[in-house]
Structure 1
Amino acid sequence: MSTLTSAAFADDPFEIGNWADFALYLSLIHQATGMSLSDLEAAESGTDGHELDRGAVSDALIGRRPIRKALLEGLLRAWSLPDGQRSQVREVWRRLDVRAGAGPAGAGRCRDASPHALGIHASIRAGDSKDDLPAYVSRHFDDDLREMIAKGADEGCFVLLVGDSSTGKTRSLYEAILNVVPDWWLLHPADTRDVIRAYREPTERTVVWLDELQNFLGADPPLNRAILDGLTRTGMIVVGTMWSEHYNARSPLRRPDGFDKYAADRELLKRACRIPVDAEFTAGERAAAAALAEQDERLRVALATGGAAGLPRALVGASALLESWVHAPSPFVRAVISAAADARRLGVGSPLPEILLREAMEGYLSPVDRATPPEQWLDRALPYLTDELGGGVTVLAPHARKAGSLDGYVIADFLAQHIAGVHRTACPPASLWDALLTHVTNPDDLRRLSVSAQVRMRYRYAEAALLRLPERNDLAALDLADLLVRQDRLHDARMALFPRLAENPTQDLRDRYEKLLNLTRRADAIRPRIPVQPTAATALDELLADWGDADMLRECADAGDRTAAEALVDLLAERGQLDGLRQRADRGDDYAGEQLADLLALHGRIDELKARAERGDAAAIRRYGGMTAGGTPGRDAAARQIEELRARVDAGDESAARTLTTLLFDLGVADALLDEVNAGTPGAVDRYLALLTAREETSPETLHLLRAFGINADGTPAAGTP
């Protein structure tokens, strides 16, 4: 948003077009009077006015809140302006107020909002039900929710409902808003830019509706605490919903490596008045539903069929949706459902166009089914998927931004979440990745798709998603540079960083670019030695894998820095680099000896551990002696622990992810670690590579290809680029 200059104000104040410019205009007038905020308070004393509190005036003059008429009149009296200037100021305010009276651009009244447009799922139909929504069953948290919103009507608030898909979050929020502030404006932002516009041009009596809040947190630009605080400070009510797995992933935790990718999100979420929403109704809620069911056939059917799924899910036809996939009437139907659900799992939230679905289907069909002409695949599935199932729900809902044009289809939330659990360790086929990378255009979807590819070690798709971005922010540029450095494409990496560095030379970008230049010099020095020095290729791989971090630690350790030596040993152990640990242990590094002995024992290298013990290695003696005396822990107990940890990971617990991947590394189960890579479990890629590194049978060439190029969609090692 451009802001007018003081000269423009002087020439024609009627050029002022928003509250931010009006605040600057008043601030310039205030400066010209020479009065302080204390002077304004003093000028109001002895009158009946209570508008010129210095905090309120300060917020108004810097644009933090809309300027109410009473405050404006108080300022005009205190400033003692000429009558002509007073009239001019009032007229500018009146024009802005008339515009503000229309609410934010594109907003309507809460009472007029479409429930389905706000994200409330279509309900089953039963009997002669004609209303869009079944009768609302009061939840046990409704009083608290409505009290929060009522309080927010006076001072602004941020209320967040957290729960799994189809638990009634959005319906409860809608009913609360309708009950407490039906006449307020309701702004339903399409993206974070709309939210920022509301922050910069605040309007009174406005509700900002952020269904699926995680989509705004992962956007570019992201929603942050400063924007949220700005909205609530101006008296707006900000409400949102969020799936539990996304909220839990951002819950407080301690990261051993000090990296916290959700730090900014966590600061924002601390501002929320959070209300958890369970899928299961309480006994009281079920009793209330039973009473309402006497007049609402949909509730009666839902109560009879809800079972373990819970009433809210029964109302959105969960059983019929599940049946459509588990017992799909044709392989083409199942293929489309699976592709749409997997696209959501990879982070694509936009409607999926027909051409994308058609191209994605191939990898979900058997060779026999693929014999059917491809142009018929989607035609054989779409009528069923868009037709009403039992109760009137549909698997795919058509979406259009403009009348008469179809943007694509969105899968039912409940089905997407269920299939994500079933497909947890199955990486989507290449046909889906290729279709998404060809047809997805939404920048936020592309960024999330890139992240999903990186954590699944599908580096080719991660690079393609980043290259399709119309504009790359700092993080995207750094991610792309990191992918290119892995593959020894250092010139391309510099070209990926340079445009961002020229446009936005932050300290992080400058530091990373300087590190890249240094990395290039060191790599150039190593390459000529590769044909004649067997260890040179491994040294280059290590250099490119961590941008030279281990190399620098090694130099410091060799120079006598004990802290660096311990950090280096930890890093070598973390990566499963037994050769590096052996070298340091054989040079008398006791800590390296301890880590080496632990790894040898964990990975069944008993003969080597015994040989080191017989040579007098103290750490090996202790570790080997403990093994012969104590036996090994039970595999059944480990299996139970793995299942418990996986459940916590699926709920978004990132600390459990680290515990799980470390346990699988310690147990030496590469297949299980690869499953976690396919699931996108944080840290699984590093632990998987470390386990392969620790195994003697893994060739250096295989490790090089995996580190640099990752794996294909089907799990086979990806080939290097020419």
Structure 2
Amino acid sequence: MALVGPLLAVVVLTAAPAGVKAGELPWPKWLVAGVVAAAGVLVAVWTPLVKARTDALAARTTREAEREAQAEAALGRLPTLKRKALLVRDMNDRALLGIHEAIPLPTDSDSDNTLSAELPTYVPRDIDADLRAALEARSRTGGFVLLVGPAASGKTRCAYEAIRAVLPHWRLLMPPDGATLNEMVAGDADLKHSVVWLNETQNFLAGEDCLKASMVRRLLADTTKPVILIGTIWPTFYDQLRIRVTTADEESEGGHAFDKDARGILELARRFSLGKWSDQEWDRAKEMQSVDPRIRQASLHRGQTGLTQILSAAPELVHRWEQAETPFGQAAITAAVAARRCNHPENMPIAIIEALAKEFLTDFQRATAKEDWLTDALMWACRPVHHSGGIAPLQAYGKNMGQIDGYRVSDILVDHKSKSAPIPDGQIAPDIWETLAESATPQACLLIGMGAYSAGVLGVARSAWERAANTGNAEAMAPLGVLLHNEGDAEGARTWWQQGADAGNTGAMTALGAMLHDEGDVEGARTWFIRASNAGNANAMTNLAGVLYHQGDTEGARTWWQQAADEGDADGTAALANFLYDQGDTEGARTRWQQAADEGNTQAMANLGVLLANKGDIEGARTFYTRASNAGNANAMTSLGMLLSREGDAEGARALWQQAADEGNTQAMTLLGIALDREGDAEGARALWQQAADEGNTYAMTVLGVALDREGDTEGARALWQQAADEGNDMAAQALRGFIEVEE
């Protein structure tokens, strides 16, 4: 007799304090069915000392005073106007804003002399209305607005014109790095009605002084003191910063990813895209030709590229690079472009350009080069593309008068990718990566390692991070440990995580704590979780809360989950929701699951689907199951398969269960086995049940026991039911009792 009956519902709550049973199957009369995913264990099982929490509170009190002083110092480092707070309406410094230099006004122009020599007349963009409406709405509560587009597409100018139109009387804060803003927020500086200018947002999200997601969430949480963050970023950087740097065995939720801050911050943003100039935008530019001769000049090249690119001399810059008069000058520009594409910081030491330029010269060119080839090449590359104005492929920089420290390459060229470019289609050869990692400063190697990791050049990522870590850079030690861990070098990972933790890196502390826990070193693991939590690492707080819960300290667990949720950690928020559900607070759980789902936690989406399904809201459940399934959550695939099965879509259900089973989900294996059994594939079903049972799924043990019993293997069935019953499976216990009753 085959196992029959549609599976009515499934509840999949992972990382939860307790499971929830739902659904029935018409098993034999002594077997009451319910398909439930086993509740996952967040982390270890110990109770921290009360003294540790008391000491932590005292330490936080001391730190508050220090942070207030740091906040005042950070505010003092921001640009001001005559020592007063800078207002949006007062800012007109193109360079300080980060707007590209424009082609110069014609010297023989008889146009209105009120035209700005720095900023051409603004041509309205298609997104202006929506962007300004978004700023207007966020002026009441605060928020983050991000403009995404290629180099010289007009992102910065568009953002500037928007805040000037909507928020002219707000303060304009222009932090030099993420650490400065972190200090202001941590010290509770009053930033009400401030615009935080994050032009080239990627520069705030990477490196040692990066912006923390918890600080951004904290800043935006107080809607009574609205603050608006506005930033710009290239699409390539946006995609790169959303790539996870995680250990190989990390689940999709939780674990110790070291790039959570960048991804978490980007997920908070309301995005606006600026790309190719539309016909409507060009028509508006045409109407303004009589106002500004630069607009008239740029409009002559309509169709070649965007108007803002033309105003920024993009065609001339590209021509200078691609059709270079000298191979050595071209090699110098190409070297700088390649280094930036490999994530080298904007400031390029001369040694880097020299080392990489040689890679872009032929053997003959290297052999016949003059002694001063590099000097001549750099002078040529720094020559402006217009006789008046300063737009050039390379620009020198330096801290001391008359001393050049290095060069900056035009980001128009960095973003230019074509078959005719010296670096075709933007591809960077492995030897270029290697030369850069060997030649760059250890500090730059942190970012180069990140670029290499996202590009899949893992050997270079490792060598770059090793160079940085060997000089004491704790920010490099954490991801280096991840890389080694993924390569199977557990001891190497431990060494770097230990060094990073000793140096104060909270990501390394959390990773080391997880490793020690897996090895059974309870006290060592707890020590690092507590240290990282006290230092503000929300991921460590979530792990520590799980530790406390499983030891029985529910109040301590709730406290840390609550704090992690307040810091904006989606995993902590989801775990808190699970805790509230277990305590009977269904509405509180629903609120927190919704919050975690909005922050991208796929298990929270799956759990919301379960909650809605149990309330009879099948369409609402389907929505969340689908979102989580599309994001790769195997539990949601299993639940969505159950929903489809109930609706009679056997093929759809089977496809989802197969996908989830391929991901290692033992509950899906069990259900897929049932589907195969119904189709007469007893061997296929048995193989799946056996695999799931071997991995500890007690429901698979129970079903496999049923299969053995119907084949006459009563002892095998009894052994499986006994094992599952011993592990707390009620279905198996009832099956075992029914078996005993039959015997009697």
Encode CA deviations 1:644-675: one digit per residue, 9 max, x unaligned: xxxxxxxxxxxxxxxxxxxxxxxxxxxxxxxx
Match of 2:385 in 1: 389
Cα distance change of structure 1 residues 512 and 374 upon mapping to structure 2, 3 Å threshold: farther
Deviation at 1:500, TM superposition (A): 3.0
Alpha-carbon distance between aligned partners in 2 of 1:179 and 1:202, rounded to the nearest angstrom: 23
Q: How many residues align?
A: 449
State the match for 2:229 in structure 1: 238
Give 2:498's aligned amino acid: F
Distance in 2 separating the partners of 1:100 and 1:356: 31
Aligned mates of 2:251, 2:459 — CA distance in 1: 22
Partner residue in 1 for 2:512: 509
- Which of 406, 410, 413 lines up with 1:412 in the alignment? 410
Aligned residue in 2 for 1:498 = 498
Q: Which residue of structure 1 aligns with residue 266 of structure 2?
A: 269
Report how far residue 508 of structure 1 moved: 2.8
Query: Could you tell me which residue of structure 1 aligns to residue 204 of structure 2?
Result: 216
- Partner Cα distance (2:154, 2:331) in 1: 29
**Contact 2:477 / 2:496 at 8 angstroms: preserved in 1?**
no
Partner of 1:718: none
Q: Comparing both chains, which one has the higher relative contact order based on Cα–Cα distances under 8 Å and sequence gaps of 6 or more?
A: 2
Matching residue of 1:653: none
Q: Secondary structure at the match of 1:308?
A: coil
CA separation of 1:202 and 1:408: change in aligned 2, threshold 3 A: farther
Percent identity over paired residues: 26
Post-superposition shift, 1:180? 3.1
Q: CA shift at 1:590, angstroms?
A: 11
Kept in 1: contact 2:335–2:360 (CA 8 A): yes
Indicate conservation of the 8 Å contact 1:279/1:312, yes or no: no
CA drift of 1:137 comes to 0.4
Counterparts of 1:313-324 in structure 2, within 5 Å, are 313-324=309-320
TM-superposed deviation, 1:155:
3.2
- The corresponding residue for 2:93 is 114
Query: Following the alignment from structure 1 to structure 2, what is the Cα–Cα distance between the partners of residues 104 and 350?
Result: 30
Q: Secondary structure at the match of 2:407?
A: strand
1:282 is aligned to 279
For residues 135 and 500 of structure 1, do their structure 2 counterparts lie closer, same or farther at Cα, with a shift above 3 Å needed? Answer: same
Change (3 A) 1:132 1:361: same
CA deviation map 1:341-395 (0-9, x unaligned): 1111111133102232123221111111112457523212112211110474211
Tell me, yes or no, if the aligned pair for 1:164 and 1:243 is still in contact at 8 Å: yes
Counterpart CA distance in 2 for 1:205 and 1:340 is 40
| 3-state SS, counterpart of residue 237 of structure 1 | strand
Residues 196 and 227 in structure 2, CA contact (< 8 A), matched pair in contact too: yes
| SS of alignment partner, residue 309 of structure 1 | coil
Which residue number in structure 1 is paired with residue 463 of structure 2? 461
Q: Is the 8 A contact 2:128 2:162 kept in 1?
A: yes
Q: Which residue of 1 aligns with 2:128?
A: 142
Partner of 1:167: 153
Q: Deviations over 1:51-106 (max 9, x none)?
A: xxxxxxxxxxxx9xx9xxxxxxxxxxxxxxxxxxxxxxxxxxxxx99999979999
Structure 1 residues 654-673: aligned runs within 5 Å = none
CA distance in 2, matches of 1:484, 1:144: 46
Matches of 1:217 and 1:510 in 2, distance apart? 25
Structure 1 residue 171 displacement after superposition: 0.5
Corresponding residue of 1:124: 103
Structure 1 stretch displaced more, 436-445 or 131-140: 436-445
Do the aligned residues in 2 keep the contact of 1:494 with 1:513 (CA within 8 Å)?
no
Q: Spell out, residue by residue over 1:566-615, the C-alpha distance to the aligned partner (whole angstroms, 9 max, x if none).
A: 77999xxxxxxxxxxxxxxxxx99989xxxxxxxxxxxxxxxxxxxxxxx
Do the aligned partners of 2:344 and 2:448 also contact (CA within 8 Å) in 1?
A: yes
The letter of the residue matching 1:510 is: G
Report the CA distance between 1:270 and its aligned residue.
3.5
**Superposition TM-score, scaled by structure 2 size:** 0.51
Matches of 1:444 and 1:188, distance apart in 2: 24
The answer to whether the 8 A contact 1:399-1:409 is kept is: yes
Opposite residue 188 of structure 1, the aligned amino acid is M
Contact 2:178 2:211 in 1 (8 A): yes
Paired residues of 1:106 and 1:187 also in contact (CA < 8 A):
no
2:450 equivalent in structure 1: 448
C-alpha separation in 2, matches of 1:299 and 1:372: 45
**Cα gap change, 1:342/1:589 in structure 2, threshold over 3 Å: closer, same or farther?**
farther
Question: How much does 1:120 deviate?
Answer: 0.8
Runs (4+) of structure 1 exceeding 6 A deviation are 3-6, 16-19, 96-107, 250-253, 514-518, 563-570, 588-592
For 1:440-480, what per-residue CA distance to the aligned partner results, in whole angstroms no more than 9, with x for missing partners? 6347535435535763543663354443553224x733524
Matches of 2:403 and 2:192 in 1, distance apart?
A: 34
1:688 aligns to what?
none
Measured at CA, do residues 459 and 267 of structure 1 come closer, stay the same or move farther in structure 2, by a change above 3 Å? closer
Residue of 163, 188, 195 corresponding to 1:207: 195
Does the alignment pair 1:347 with 2:359? Answer: no
Deviations, residues 392-413 of structure 1 (Å, cap 9, x unaligned): 4211123446766544322111
In structure 2, relative to structure 1, the CA distance for the partners of 1:346 and 1:426 (3 Å cut) is closer
Corresponding letter in the other structure for 1:124: I
Q: Which amino acid aligns with 1:278?
A: G
Counterpart code for 1:184: W
Q: Mean Cα displacement is larger for which, 399-408 or 127-136?
A: 399-408
Return the offset for 1:4.
13
Tell me how far 1:140 sits from its aligned partner. Answer: 2.2
1:229 maps to which residue? 217
Q: How does 1:337-376 map to 2 (within 5 A)?
A: 337-372=333-368, 375-376=371-372
Aligned partner of 2:96: which letter? Answer: A
Asked whether the equivalents of residues 396 and 411 of structure 1 are also in contact (C-alpha less than 8 Å), the reply is yes
Conservation of the 8 A alpha-carbon contact between 1:360 and 1:435: no
User: How far 1:331 sits from its partner (Å)?
Assistant: 1.0
Once structures 1 and 2 are overlaid, which stretch shifts more, 213-222 or 260-269? 260-269
> Structure 1 residues 180, 104: closer, same or farther in 2, change over 3 A?
farther
Structural mapping, 1:246-257, within 5 Å = 246-248=237-239
The amino acid across from 1:448 in the alignment is: M
- Distance in 2 separating the partners of 1:495 and 1:352: 32
Alignment of 1:425-444 (within 5 A): 425-427=427-429, 429-430=431-432, 433-434=435-436, 437-439=439-441, 441-442=443-444
CA deviation string 1:234-263 (max 9, x = no partner): 32221101212333556799x998548666
Secondary structure of the residue aligned to 1:238 is strand
Q: d(CA) in 2 for partners of 1:107 and 1:476?
A: 39
What amino acid is the match of 2:196?
A: V
Contact 2:474 2:499 in 1 (8 A): no
Alignment of 1:485-634 (within 5 A): 486=487, 493-502=493-502, 503=504, 506-512=509-515
Counterpart amino acid of 2:500? R
**What is the CA–CA distance in structure 1 between the aligned matches of 2:293 and 2:382, rounded to whole Å?**
24
SS of the residue corresponding to residue 429 of structure 1 reads helix
Q: Is the 8 A contact 1:306 1:314 kept in 2?
A: no
Give the 3 Å change call, closer, same or farther, for CA 407–249 of structure 1 in structure 2.
same
State the alpha-carbon separation in 2 of the partners of residues 565 and 142 from structure 1. 47
Stretches of structure 2 that go unaligned for 5 or more consecutive residues are: 1-55, 110-115, 522-658, 667-683, 689-744
Q: CA RMSD in A?
A: 4.8
Q: 1:436 to 1:499 in 2, by over 3 A?
A: closer
Match in the other structure for 1:78 = none
> Which amino acid counterpart does residue 120 of structure 2 have in structure 1?
P
* Conservation of the 8 A alpha-carbon contact between 1:347 and 1:452: no
Higher mean displacement: 498-507 or 286-295:
498-507
Quick one: structure 1 residues 259 and 476, their matched pair in 2 at CA, closer, same or farther if it must change by over 3 Å? farther
How far did 1:156 drift? 2.3
CA distance 1:442–1:108, change in 2 (3 Å): farther
| Cα distance change on mapping 1:486 and 1:161 into 2, 3 Å | closer
Compute the displacement of 1:507 (Å). Answer: 4.7
- Mapped contact 2:123–2:284 kept (Cα < 8 A): yes
Q: CA deviation at 1:225?
A: 3.6
Q: Which amino acid aligns with 2:477?
A: A
Q: Is the 8 A contact 1:566 1:591 kept in 2?
A: no
- When residues 150 and 494 of structure 1 are mapped into structure 2, their CA distance, relative to the original with a 3 A threshold, is closer
Residues 491 and 272 of structure 1: CA distance in aligned 2, closer, same or farther (over 3 Å)? closer
Structure 1 counterpart of 2:324, one-letter code: A
